[in-house]
Amino acid sequence: MALSEILYIIAYGTFLAGASVSFRHNGSRLAVWVMSSGIGLDFLVSMLPLLGVKTLSLNLQGTNAAIIIGIALGFVVWLLYAAALMLRSANKMEWYHRMIAVVEVLWFVDFITFLYGIYKFPLQGGA
């Protein structure tokens, strides 16, 4: 298992911990900080390899549809989390909690799809 995969798991676990606190304490500031740190870690682990950080690179020898879908879902997760924060700031807590629940599930689907793309389906277009 690559370092980046371990960090993705830590990021998702951190987000889940923050989400559980958020549901319990109605979107507390602490919960938002914990969830944001998970999202931030996910973002950094995803973007730093593009800036040349080789340690976090997966060194894939190609791609496939599952990887592309996983990447696209990752962007959707970030956007939905930003939308959830806007709902929280507008004091629409019921919709905020719904959006956080959607982010939890979609992030799981995103991560599993990405892992399936790496390990289960053949890579194409490699160098």
Residue 126 lies in a domain: no
Residue 89 lies in a domain: yes
Position 59: which residue type?
N
Residue 59 lies in a domain: yes
The tokens for 54 are: 């080789």
Residue 125 lies in a domain: no
* Domain coverage including residue 79: 3-119
Q: How many domains does the chain have?
A: 1
Asked whether the whole model's pTM tops 0.95, one would answer no
Q: 61: closest CA among 113, 124, 12, 103? A: 124
Q: Name the DSSP letter for residue 50.
A: G
Q: In this structure, are residues 81 and 103 in contact, taking their beta carbons and an 8 Å threshold?
A: yes
Residue 124 lies in a domain: no
Position 78: which residue type?
W
Residue 24 lies in a domain: yes
Note down pLDDT in tens along the chain; length 127 residues.
899 999 999 999 999 999 999 999 999 999 999 999 999 999 999 999 999 999 999 988 899 999 999 999 999 999 999 999 999 999 999 999 999 999 999 999 999 999 999 999 989 876 5
Task: Kindly report the number of other CB atoms within 10 A of residue 51's CB atom.
Answer: 8
